Structure 1
């Protein structure tokens, strides 16, 4: 899931690139199981071709909207921090992106709920100086390590790693 190097500027390198934790796919997987079970129950209870076709069409619509669409969203959405900017990209056919220069980011925080702790993920909160104020990145794997790396990069960008001049 590495960010394409052809989209990086000269001197820019990827610090961290990630996507939403696979736990986001638990709901769609459960919906798929319920739909398959419902289709099997309807198929075993009736010999009607029309009812089978209607059930199949409804099931296909539910699977496309509630299973396939979230899976494609999960698969095609990435969050990348470089040494110069934060990049959110999503989309399979129609692409969407958001970029925030690191020098505009005023803070990076995280929140970990009980369920998130079980799965080893959390919400990363990127605060910037724009009118939107902050970007919530839900279900980021190993969110504490991501926050630490991004905070270190912000510290480096701010000149925090310069050698002391002895004064």
Structure 2
């Protein structure tokens, strides 16, 4: 079986990822790098603007940044359920600078960027501690908003 590099992929969104972005993604392919960058930027801005309301810390911002950047990685597998595929891919990928528990939270935040809301009926959410569930719920809400702000994927808000 032939292996492909990022440069071999004709459909690849331009501009191509920087080496730092590839490092941050843990090697996961992101279908639309400009959209990932835009949602990450908007997520940071919205987090900072609403910080007096949610009162989450810097660690939470780091989790949101990475989830925002990787929220659509599941699109490489299937569009309709990409949020669930993103959860699995993120959870199973070694991300630099994050523990296994943090990676699980990042995966959950990405999982809940669309469709169902976080629920203890979902095993991936139910296994989190109470504090982590509150954090994931708040950060997933911010990610839903920022993803919707770049709905057209063309950088316009």
State TM-score, norm by structure 2.
Answer: 0.29
* Higher-helix-fraction structure: 2
State TM-score, norm by structure 1.
Answer: 0.28
